[in-house]
Amino acid sequence: MSLSQWQWETATAGAVAGFATVAAMYPLDIVRTRFQVNDGRVTNFPAYKNTAHAIFTITRLEGLKGLYAGFLPAVLGSTVSWGLYFFFYGRAKQRYSKNREEKLSSGHHLASAAEAGALVSLCTNPIWLIKTRLQLQNPLHQSRRYSGIYDALRTILREEGWTALYRGLGPGLLMQVSHGAIQFTAYEELCRIMVDYKEKKQKSEGASNLLNSFDYALLGGSSKIAAILITYPFQVIRTRAQQRPSKEGIPRYMNSWHVVKETAS
């Protein structure tokens, strides 16, 4: 199998995985987005007590379709993001390994992941903005509702200009670039701690066979949770920055820094 063929197959596999993930967990994504923008200062969002209450309220007021608002751009964004991520990641590793005989170092893998994440953010930010706005539409909204992804794109371009499609890009870039770095660092550190612990427990010199499949799954899950917890504020900032302006054309937040100041105050 050629390197080029492997890259395209990897990108396809990533795209399929992205679609499956979104389809299975989408109602929870709706709830998360609405909780992220509900700062208690606006009146055009229903008040939710918890996740179960949010799902019940959305279903009662908007029907089951309310739990899948913005599903098309979500699927499109996730599929494109994962496909592009694996493609850019493979290309970056190929470039770093050019004219090198030894294997790539951990730093090269980390740099490749950061580069891929940044490029994906630049390419897909308009899709995520449209998804966020469709998810936030509810019966309390006073602005004319978007009828779909095309109507949302056309309305945003007409009323706000093309630059509005890149609102929230800053925190999105920071989240994409730092997430992989944090997860990688946490994984390596947790792996070292676990190996040291098992070495002392088993009094064994070799560390190659100390970890089993469950250990690796635990390490991967723990490092992922650590990365999510640390980078979650970037998600909140991006979501709040991407909200639709009022019907008078006044945005809730002027930029991402405005979000930080208003949220912290």
Examine the domain organization and report whether 89 and 29 are in the same domain.
no
Q: How far apart are CA 120 and CA 128, in angstroms?
A: 11
Examine the domain organization and report whether 128 and 178 are in the same domain.
no
Model confidence at 139, pLDDT cuts 50, 70, 90, reads: confident
Which of residues 140, 167, 194 is at a domain's end? 167
**pLDDT computed for residue 207 by the predictor:** 46
The answer to whether residue 209 scores a pLDDT higher than 80 is no
pLDDT digits (tens, 9 = 90+) for 145-154: 898 999 999 9
pLDDT digits (tens, 9 = 90+) for 164-177: 999 999 999 999 88
Write out the two tokens for 62.
């908007």
Examine the domain organization and report whether 37 and 76 are in the same domain.
no
Residue-range definition of the domain harbouring residue 185: 168-264
Share of the chain above pLDDT 90, in %: 35
Mean pLDDT of the chain: 84
**Which residues lie closer than 8 Å to 130 by C-beta, 6 or more apart?**
70, 73, 149, 152, 153, 156
Q: Could you tell me if 172 and 262 are in contact, meaning their C-beta atoms sit under 8 angstroms apart? A: no
Region 248-252 average pLDDT: 76
Which of residues 16, 36, 68 is at a domain's end? 68
**pLDDT computed for residue 18 by the predictor:** 65
Nearest partner of 143 among 252, 34, 30, judged by Cα: 252
The answer to whether residue 57 scores a pLDDT higher than 50 is yes
**Which residues lie closer than 8 Å to 167 by C-beta, 6 or more apart?**
129, 241, 242, 255
Q: Could you tell me if 160 and 245 are in contact, meaning their C-beta atoms sit under 8 angstroms apart? A: yes
Count CB-CB contacts under 10 A for residue 14: 21
Examine the domain organization and report whether 201 and 246 are in the same domain.
yes
pLDDT digits (tens, 9 = 90+) for 72-85: 999 888 888 888 88
Examine the domain organization and report whether 260 and 178 are in the same domain.
yes
C-alpha torsion sign, points 208, 210, 211, 213: positive
Domain count, the chain: 3
Q: Could you tell me if 58 and 66 are in contact, meaning their C-beta atoms sit under 8 angstroms apart? A: yes
Examine the domain organization and report whether 153 and 138 are in the same domain.
yes
The answer to whether residue 71 scores a pLDDT higher than 50 is yes
Model confidence at 43, pLDDT cuts 50, 70, 90, reads: low
Examine the domain organization and report whether 139 and 176 are in the same domain.
no
Nearest partner of 135 among 45, 53, 49, judged by Cα: 45
Q: How far apart are CA 204 and CA 91, in angstroms?
A: 40
Q: Which of 14-18, 31-35, 183-187, 249-253 has the highest mean pLDDT?
A: 31-35
The answer to whether residue 135 scores a pLDDT higher than 90 is yes
Examine the domain organization and report whether 159 and 79 are in the same domain.
yes
Nearest partner of 241 among 158, 160, 144, judged by Cα: 160
C-alpha torsion sign, points 138, 174, 86, 91: positive
Q: Which helix (H) or strand (E) holds 166?
A: none
The answer to whether residue 261 scores a pLDDT higher than 80 is yes
**pLDDT computed for residue 33 by the predictor:** 94
Region 166-191 average pLDDT: 87
Q: Could you tell me if 142 and 246 are in contact, meaning their C-beta atoms sit under 8 angstroms apart? A: yes
Examine the domain organization and report whether 34 and 116 are in the same domain.
no
Examine the domain organization and report whether 155 and 96 are in the same domain.
yes
